[in-house]
Structure 1
């Protein structure tokens, strides 16, 4: 471990420092103390740093999520994903017109293919939410991700079930989505059913 690394420490709600590694023991850093070192975009708890676990005898703990994505963040992420999916659909459609002649036939193909957009969104959402990034392009741009109730990665089966559950959230009148305003963890119905959260990066 590099003893010259400098850490910013949150003390009484305010970032202080920088401090070197050997100074952290004198500061009385606890397992739940928030720290950041150069190159990090966000603060982490002390037990999440291997060198601090070694120095101060902490054990790594699963940190329960405390910061949840708002409805507008989730909506914008969905719009971004749909934009790219629809763009890909339009490009494929234009390519198909090379082989399909006649305006009527082209219109028929265009409308017949619309369900593919919903299928693509289901598959894309499930795969990306179960990936190491836990998010598709839209969520990654919004710095949010899908987790289990403990903040961990979800399985592909769970991600698929969560996305299928959006049908429940959409009916009637999208109440399952609006339910997030009544839920302290801002879960929609499909999140409750799948036992998932949509979290955002914590910033101090």
Structure 2
């Protein structure tokens, strides 16, 4: 038993030899993604771990020495002037709550969550009874994503591949949409112009 730390460090994991992609919702400093990929790499050293972002904001600006995003994902509900969240709903998951996990029946999964309760999110729940609460905003978002998936599969949505992709992969994504490269550039430029116009209207 004296070597349990070494044994755990070298034990096989369910992620061994797999390619694991961590998707952070937004990019500000990059610290969150670095911590997440770093932790997974430490507990599963034989996994191939990389990271990316769902939302890349190109309108960041410095406010009082702090980098502030100009745009955020649609499920961000916003904050009051005091910095308090307007609502915890809309994301499908609540904030961290050690109290919630300590009130759950004992199980291996719950025990693990208790160890990281200050960081692990809890389901939306009543703070007095701990009964789960529905998140209608998240349900609406899931429905919107389902419609978007359908529209994309039907060719109604322009897929804009990341410029970080290899050239051959980039060209294939455009060709799969039955677009010539010049047509793609024209559509992309038009979309960028529309976004810039909307951003200026908000500023």
Shorter-chain TM-score tier: under 0.3
Which protein, 1 or 2, shows the higher relative CO under an 8 Å CA cutoff with sep ≥ 6? 1
Q: TM-score, normalised by structure 1?
A: 0.18
Report the TM-score when normalising by structure 2.
0.18
Q: Which has the larger radius of gyration?
A: 1
